[in-house]
Every structure is written in structure tokens, then in C-alpha cells.
Amino acid sequence: MLVDEPTDRREVQTFCPLCVSRCGATATVADGALLELRPDPAHPTGQALCVKGRAAPEIVAHPDRLLYPMRRTNPKGADDPGWTRIGWDEALDEIAGRLGDIAREDGPEAVVFGSASPSTSAMSDCVDWLTRLRNAFGSPNLTASMELCGWGRNFASGFTFGAPLPGAYAPDLAGAGCILFWGYNPSLSRLSHATQAVAALRRGAKLVFIDPRQVGLAAKAQHWLRVRPGTDAALALAMTHVLIENGWFDEDFVRTWTNATHLVRTDTGRLLPPHGDVATAPLRGDVEVATADGPVRCRPVFDLIAETCAAMSPAHAAEITGVDADDIAAVARLMWHSRPLAIYTWSGLEQQSNSTQTIRAICQFAALIGSIDVPGGNVAFASVPQHRIEGTDLLPTPAAKTIGLEKRPLSAARAGFVTGEDFFTAALDGTPYRARALVNFGANLMMAHGDSARGRSALAALDFFVHADLFRSPTGDQADILLPVTSAWEAGALRIGFEIDEAAQAHVQLRTQLVAPRGEARSDISIIFALATRLGLHEQFFGGDVEAGWRHQLEPSGVTLEQLRAQPGGIRVPVATRHRKYAEVVDGVPRGFSTPSRKVELFSERFAAAGYPPLPEYAEPGISPRSRPDLAARFPLVLTCTKSLWFCETQHRNVASLRRAAADPVVELHPDAAAARGVAAKDWVLIETPLGSVRARAKLNAKLDPQVVCGQHGWWQAGGPGQAGYPAVGPGSANLNLVLSQTPSDPVGGSSPLRASLCEIRRLPD
Ligand SMILES: Nc1nc2c(c(=O)[nH]1)N[C@H]1C(S)=C(S)[C@@H](COP(=O)(O)OP(=O)(O)OC[C@H]3O[C@@H](n4cnc5c(=O)[nH]c(N)nc54)[C@H](O)[C@@H]3O)O[C@H]1N2
Ligand SMILES: Nc1nc2c(c(=O)[nH]1)N[C@H]1C(S)=C(S)[C@@H](COP(=O)(O)OP(=O)(O)OC[C@H]3O[C@@H](n4cnc5c(=O)[nH]c(N)nc54)[C@H](O)[C@@H]3O)O[C@H]1N2
Ligand code: SF4
Ligand SMILES: [Mo]
């Protein structure tokens, strides 16, 4: 039989929003189906597509997609929620009614909003609109894994630089003399960065890669530092010591643009108001200063930094981190001599009990090197002007009531982000007040956070829970109502800026709908607008018209929706990046940095005022052989984890082609550690922690420290035939977060210790 040729085969430029890379792509569509996605080299992020992006057609057509709104008919906690199909009107009316009731009874703050991380889902298309809905509704609470994914990158570094590094100050890989990837493996996690980094190495840029594992570009790096998980701050302080000892720091930058010359009172430990000429003020020593309280001995901030760093000599840091002292010195030398230095840090440093101090120690190091907002350093690239649509003006006292703010006053709760730990506590214990409802777009809260069993109880304790997703999930199965969401290719989306460099930042694209929605699925953004309308918030939502919202957002850019529609590959809006913007003189004074003092705050008064160390210090991870020898006796191995090349976070194990390449959950361990436990490659083992045990297959890795093992989170979903699923909780589980703890969490930002804890590995009998 002859197969008919498709009649309407089309090639359409688009982009893949499945992860943070947001790769430019060209899609082949025929007879209403997505057939293929391949790179679009004309796009600033379009050099390559990963396996997940190429699996887009499989995701769209997946037999397990949610197709209709559904209501649970069995009690919470039942194995089968008894999902029964309902109509959209019924669903939206019930949601609006229940949320309205709860807001009237206990205030809108009793309703928490949730989002899958924009780094790992197409929620990046609309998370700002979700924030607008939350603000317009009057709730200060959004839970979106910020404390695990972006606290360091997006918030902690802001205390030093006034803006995030490496968030707003992005690594200018194209111009870098040296690249520093620290706890970040873009070859796995962000293809567009990996491609740029490879090009930089080809033209001779140096690379320093700091990771317990030799992965990705580590093999091509001048130095791979095999750090013990969770001890990175010790490394940063020791490297800073090497810089100071050798005079390898940008003295002009440090004097002019940081508070290094400002004086700290030795009696109170607080800063004096700046005085004197920064060009000639001493960096070292101490001075007596006349104050209202009489004469006080004071020391320049720089002197205190030099002292804390001297206490962390390379030899001492070597003991703590496992990195050779000579390598620490060599790496500091290399980074100084091959400036400009472009830095990116990520997950390895985010999911730690000491994330904040680690990030601040790295910021201190970066400030001394001085490659801030200079070509080839960390640069705030120009962006296309747009109207912000998060609606911060809609919530009069923004974060005052955010869950977790009282406990951690400097955390991302200030911006309305609730940690998983604090959300579970509010739902279970009513502290600081009871979280009664959750409006959740995707986030697989139960699987994404440590202590999944507690997460499950917290979700079950909610009075009302609505969950919007493409698929069922352990989290969604705790909901009262499930809403079916379109995949990225069944809906349009507006993206202004693709982040990684100026060309990418200048790129504006309207991703067009390629195929019809499956079943009754709707896009997240249309659900947000529809819900807003039912809640009586249509005025704040452009009369419920998504396109009117996009037009408003685009207005300052000078680009219209019509122009974007005519060019599905996107439009480059001319923008010009200026460097050293802090040195620009505005109204007779230099612009400086966006900190309270306009200086790079090496010493943080805000930290001091909140009772945190104002200068970065090393804190041993909360669960480690050194901090918990009691536990280490039973759980002698240091456990960290990583994401998977083949899947996003807890997703995609149901995609048969991806699962064929990565069939089972894996734990990497050193051959000696394996041999000592009678474990051979590919054996099924149990990863045991004080919270219980989960299964994984052993993968031997001779490059690891014999005491360190590395697991993977996110395993639950079944794939095609022979591709097993696992319970999210209970016996037989492969969910690493079931046995990882949310505590002790970072005292400043609240991140959980998912990347440094203790375990034992035991061979599972056949
Ligand atoms: N393929 C794929 N891509 C993704 C995702 C995905 O799930 N899969 N998720 C997206 C999201 S949400 C994020 S946040 C990004 C994250 O992207 P990355 O941060 O690159 O993700 P990981 O590979 O998990 O972590 C980076 C490295 O940290 C190392 N590491 C572990 N513990 C430590 C430590 O204590 N110190 C140091 N220095 N390193 C440590 C790990 O060995 C790992 O190689 O990726 C995004 N892209
Ligand atoms: N042990 C350990 N735990 C971790 C991490 C780790 O490295 N190790 N990483 C942490 C990090 S960095 C992050 S970001 C979090 C991630 O945690 P989450 O943000 O919860 O991301 P996922 O686990 O991938 O779950 C995403 C859910 O959203 C759904 N989804 C996907 N796309 C869309 C969409 O466009 N719209 C809607 N409505 N739903 C969608 C998926 O089907 C899935 O159910 O996990 C954290 N947890
Ligand atoms: S790296 Fe893969 S999943 Fe991420 S945007 Fe690119 S193609 Fe999509
Ligand atoms: Mo993330």
C-alpha cells in the first residue's frame, strides 16, 4: 500500500522551552502533527538541540497526556485518586469559588501559588503572569524551588554586587580569558552555554572546572578541582588568600568600587560611615578613629578579609576539601593571569546547608579579580525594553506576610518565594500560619524536595489543591482538581531575550502554535488569564485577553505582535551593551552598584544587622563526616547528586526513546568503595540514609573520591514496556529525595542539603 505524502508539510522556526537553554529550533509539522525538531543555527541559541528537545514529538503525542479537567473522587491518601472527567467551566468555577472562600475566611495569604521551575519547564513562558495572578489575588506566597535552583545565582550574590552574578552579570564566554564553571555542568544542563564554552576553549580561553566529578568539559579544563561536596567555600577562601598574598588583585577596582577601604569598628563589628580618600586609604592595619562614643580602633574591611582568608591557607583548605594545596594556588594564579574571568555557578553550590556563605566567598574572590562588567568578564548585557508584568504594584505590602520571612529575613521570601521546607511546615503545622490551598502549575513538590514523605502529608493536609500539568505526577495525585496543560508546541508564547549574550538578549520571539492542543488541554497562560477573570481580576489581566497582555509587555520594545508573527524565527532588536556601567557619571556622581552603599559590599551591613557573618566564612556542611561523626559511623559515604542528561528533573522517564538510553536510576561510586561492599557494576543497590533507603544501579567511577557517591533524583515514572516505574514513597522507591533531608537548611536562604549528606551503599540481593 502506498503511504500518502503529507499535504501540508511545513518548516517553522521556533524554540525549545523545555529547559533553561531555550534552544532555537526548526520544527517540521505535517498533517497536524509535530514530526521533528532540529537546531536553527540562525538563532542565537540554536547551534544544537539535546536529546530531550529532539524527543519533542514523542512528548506531544504521548499516550499518557492529561486531556481533560478532572476531579478527585477518592479521599486524599488513597492509592487511586479516582479521577473523573469534568468540564472546564465547572473546574474553573469551583476553583474560583474555593479560593475566594478561603481568602475571605483566612486572608489571601492562605492560598499558596506554585510553579515548576522556569529552568526546567515551559513555565518560563508565563511564570511572570502567574506572579501577577498571585499579586492581584493578594497572596505573597509562591513556591517554585527558588531555594534549590536560584537562591545563590539570583539573590545571595546580589548582596555583594547589587545584582545577581551569574544571573544579571552573565559570563561573557565569547570574550573570556578564563572560564570558571563551579558546580555547573552545562554540557548536561545548558547546551547553549556548553556550545559557547567549547568555542571559547578553541580560541584559547582557559577553563577551571570545580566539581566532585570529572564530567562535561572537565576533561578539557586546565584544572579540574575534585572538591569534597559542600566544602567549596573553603576553596574560595583559600584561593582568595593566594590572591591577596601575591598582590594578585585589581587594586584600583577594589579601592574605587568595593567597600574594602571602609572601616569596621573592632568594638561593635559594624561599619563606620565611609570617609577619607579611597585611593590612599590603607588596606591593611588598624587605626584609631574619633567617634561620638570616643576613640575606637577600626580596621579596613580588606584587612579583615585578608585575616579570614589567611586562616584558610591552601594547606588547611586541602584538608577540608580534598583538593591538593598546590592545585589551589595554581588555580588562583591561572585565574588572575588569564583575566578577564567569566564565572558561572549552579546546582552544586545551590543545594547546600551553607550555600549563602559559599556564594558570598566566590563573590569576594570575583570582586578581587575585578572582571565585573568588563568585556570577557561577568557582564550585565543590554536587554530589550519591556513593561514588567509581574504586577508588584498590585500587592500593597508585598512580602510582609510571606511564609518564611520571619525566620529568614534576608531570604528570597523578601521577593515572595516560599521554600519547600517552609511550605510543608505551613501546611502541616500552621506555622507561621496555615497554608490552606495550593494553586500549582506543574511543580512536582513531593519529588523535588527532600523528605518526600513529609511533602506528601503536607499536600494531603491542604483544604484545596488545584494542579495543572501535562501528565499525572505523585504531586498532582494529591490534588482535588487536575487541569490538562498543552505542551509548548500546542500553544504560542512570547520570549523577550535569551540571556546568554548580547545577541541572545536582543532576540525577541513569538513562538507560534505548531499543532492543535490535545484533547481539551489549554496553555498555562490561558488558564492563568481565565482564572483571573473568574476571580474578578480581569481588569488587571487586560480584559482576559492574552494578546492584549503581550502587546502591553512589548510596547516599549517598538516591536509588534504582527511583526513577530511575520518572522517566527524572531526579531533582533538593536541593543548596545555598555561596559563598566558602575563608572558612568549620572547627575555628577558615579552610578556605582545597586547596593545600599552603591559599592560592591564585600562587608555586608545587611548581613551584620540580621545577625549573619558580614564577611563570608566557611561552615562545614550540616551533614558530613566532620560535622556528624555520630552519623558517619553508620553512614560513612558522602552523598551528592546530579541531574540527568536524558531527562529534566523528575520528568521524562515516561518518554520511551529517552528511557532506552537511560533505563535505570544510577548511583556512581568508586570501584574501591564498591569492592568493599561486594558491589559490582550495574548491581542494584540500596542507598541508605537515616531517613530510609532507595534503590539505584551501581555505576563505577574511578575518578571519584572513594568516599564520595553521587545519586540522581527524579525517578518514579514508568515508561514503555519494560521501563519500570517506582513508588514515590514507601518500599521499592527509587526517589532519592525520599531519603534526603530538608534540614539543616541554609540559615540565610533556606536551601536544603541535597548535595552533601551521608549514606551507606548496600548490595540488593538478586
Ligand atoms: N539535562 C538536563 N538539563 C537541565 C536540567 C535537567 O534536569 N536535565 N535541569 C535544569 C535546571 S532546573 C537546573 S537548576 C540546571 C542545573 O544545571 P547544573 O547545575 O549544571 O546541574 P547538575 O549537573 O545537577 O549539577 C552540576 C554539578 O554539580 C556537581 N556537584 C555536586 N555537588 C557539588 C558540590 O558540593 N560542589 C561542587 N562544586 N559541585 C557539586 C555535580 O557533580 C554536577 O556535575 O539544569 C537545567 N538543565
Ligand atoms: N535531590 C535533588 N533534588 C532536586 C534537585 C537536585 O538536583 N537534586 N534539583 C532541584 C531543582 S534545581 C529544581 S529546579 C527542582 C525542580 O522541581 P520542579 O520545578 O517541580 O520540576 P520537575 O521535577 O521537573 O517537575 C515539573 C512538573 O511540571 C510539569 N510540567 C512540565 N512542563 C510544564 C508546563 O509547561 N506547564 C505545567 N503546568 N507543567 C509542566 C511536569 O510534568 C512535572 O510534573 O527540583 C529540585 N530538587
Ligand atoms: S538543551 Fe534540550 S531541552 Fe533544553 S532547551 Fe535545548 S533542546 Fe530543549
Ligand atoms: Mo533548577
522 lines ligand 3 (CB under 6 A): no
Q: Which of these three, 546, 565, 587, is where a domain ends? A: 546
In a domain, 337, yes or no: yes
DSSP 14-51: EE--SSTT--EEEEEEETTEEEEEEE-TTSTT-S---H
Share of the chain above pLDDT 70, in %: 99
Type of residue numbered 372: I
- Which cell numbers hold the place of 276? 577619607
Question: Which of 421, 469, 647, 733 to mutate for ligand 2's pocket (most ligand atoms within 8 Å of CB)?
Answer: 469
- On whether the CB atoms of residues 624 and 183 are closer than 8 A, the answer is no
Q: With a 6 A CB cut-off, is 48 part of the ligand 3 pocket?
A: no
Q: Which atom of ligand 1 is nearest to the CA of 119?
A: 12
376 in the same domain as 435: no
**How many angstroms does the Cα of residue 621 sit away from the middle of ligand 4?**
21
Q: Report d(CA 570, CA 551) in Å as an integer.
A: 16
Three-class SS of residue 586? strand
DSSP classification of residue 125: G
Tell whether 350 is covered by a domain: yes
H-state helical runs in 322-466: 325-337, 347-350, 355-369, 420-429, 445-448, 452-460
Among 121, 154, 188, which residue has the most ligand 1 atoms within 8 Å of its CB, making it the best to mutate? 188
Confidence of residue 765 (pLDDT cuts 50, 70, 90): confident
Which residue from 189, 239, 755 has its CB within 8 A of the most atoms of ligand 1, so it is best to mutate?
189
Please report which confidence band the pLDDT of residue 647 belongs to, taking 50, 70 and 90 as the band edges: very high
Describe the strand order of the beta sheet including 33-39 as a list of residue ranges.
10-15, 24-30, 33-39
Among the candidates 351, 381, 411, a domain finishes at: 381
The tens digit of pLDDT for each residue in 705-724 reads 999 999 999 999 999 999 99
Q: Are residues 96 and 223 in the same domain?
A: no
Same domain, 46 and 78: no
Query: Does ligand 1 lie within 6 Å of residue 53's CB atom?
Result: no
Ligand nearest to the CA of 229: 1
pLDDT confidence tier of residue 353, bands split at 50, 70 and 90: very high
Q: What is the mean pLDDT of the chain?
A: 97
- pLDDT higher than threshold 70 for residue 490: yes
The verdict on 372 and 409 lying in the same domain is no
Look at the chain and report how many structural domains it folds into. Answer: 4
How many Å lie between the centroid of ligand 1 and the Cα of residue 561? 36
> Tell me, what DSSP letter sits at residue 730?
S
Q: Residue 559: how many CB atoms within 10 A of its CB?
A: 20
What's the maximum distance between 2 C-alpha atoms anywhere in the chain?
99
Per-residue pLDDT at 6: 62
Q: For residue 191, which ligand has an atom nearest its CA?
A: 3
pLDDT number for residue 8: 85
- Of ligand 2's listed atoms, the one at least distance from the Cα of 119 is 14
Q: How far is the CA of 348 from the centre of ligand 1 (A)?
A: 6
The answer to whether residues 332 and 186 belong to one domain is yes
In a domain, 303, yes or no: no
Closest protein CA for atom 5 of ligand 3 = 22
**φ, ψ of residue 212 in degrees (nearest 5):** -65, -20
In this structure, of 425-429, 609-613, 682-686, 719-723, the range with the lowest mean pLDDT score is 719-723
Which residues line ligand 2 at a C-beta cut-off of 6 Å? 116-117, 119-123, 145, 148-149, 347, 351, 441-444, 447-448, 468-471, 473, 485, 524, 641, 643, 648-651, 713, 736-737, 740, 754
Closest residue by CA, ligand 1 atom 35: 229
Query: Residue 324 CB: number of other CB atoms within 10 A?
Result: 15
Asked if residue 652 has its Cβ within 6 Å of ligand 3, the reply is: no
Which one, of 102, 604, 118, 106, lies nearest residue 357 by Cα? Answer: 604
Q: 508 and 370, same structural domain?
A: no
Q: Residue 603 Cα, ligand 2 centroid: separation in angstroms?
A: 35
What pLDDT does 77 receive? Answer: 84
Identify whether 609 is part of a domain. Answer: no
Q: Is 49 in the pocket of ligand 3 (CB under 6 A)?
A: yes
- What CATH number is given to the structural domain containing 187? 3.40.228.10
pLDDT of residue 1: 42
pLDDT (tens digit, 9 = 90+) per residue, 129-156?
999 999 999 999 999 999 999 999 999 9
The predicted model scores a pTM of 0.98
Domain match, 724 and 657 both: yes
Distance 651 CA to ligand 2 centre (A): 7
Least confident range of 302-306, 393-397, 513-517: 393-397
Based on the fold, state whether residues 432 and 335 are members of the same structural domain.
Answer: no
> Rounded CA gap, 326 and 315, in Å?
8
Instruction: Report which ligand 2 atom has the smallest distance to the Cα of 473.
Output: 44
| Residue 436 domain flag | yes
Share of the chain above pLDDT 90, in %: 96
pLDDT value for 5 = 65
Among 59, 64, 126, 148, residue to substitute to test ligand 2 (most atoms within 8 Å of Cβ)? 148
Cα 124 to middle of ligand 4, angstroms: 12
Q: Is the pLDDT of residue 399 over 80?
A: no
Query: What spacing in Å lies between the alpha carbon of 346 and ligand 1's midpoint?
Result: 6
| Domain end residue (candidates: 334, 355, 381) | 381
Q: Are residues 54 and 93 in the same domain?
A: no
Read off the pLDDT of residues 461-484 as tens digits, 9 standing for 90 and up: 999 999 999 999 999 999 999 999
| Cβ proximity of 698 and 681 under 8 Å | yes
Q: Is residue 190's pLDDT more than 80?
A: yes
State the pLDDT at residue 678: 98
Q: What is the CATH number of the domain that holds 639?
A: 2.40.40.20
Residue 396 has pLDDT above 90, yes or no: no
Amino acid 398: pLDDT: 59
Do residues 160 and 604 lie in contact, with contact meaning Cβ atoms separated by under 8 Å? yes
Q: Does any ligand 1 atom lie closer than 6 A to the CB of residue 714?
A: no
At 397 the pLDDT is 72
Q: Could you tell me which residues come within 8 angstroms of residue 651 by beta carbon, excluding any fewer than 6 positions away?
A: 120, 121, 444, 471, 714, 717
CATH of the domain at 112: 3.40.50.740
452, 729 contact by CB (below 8 A): yes
Domain hosting 117: range is 70-149+399-546
Residue minimizing CA distance to atom 6 of ligand 3:
23
The one-character DSSP state at 575 is -
> Is 667 domain-assigned?
yes
CATH number of the domain enclosing 49:
2.20.25.90
Q: Are residues 377 and 412 in the same domain?
A: no
Let me know if residue 291 belongs to a domain: no
What is the distance in A from the centroid of ligand 3 to the CA of 153?
Answer: 20
Are 475 and 357 in the same domain?
no
In a domain, 297, yes or no: no
Same domain for 138 and 110: yes
- Residue 426 has a CB neighbour count (10 Å cut-off) of 25
pLDDT in tens, 22-32: 999 999 999 99
| pLDDT class of 3 with cuts at 50, 70, 90 | low
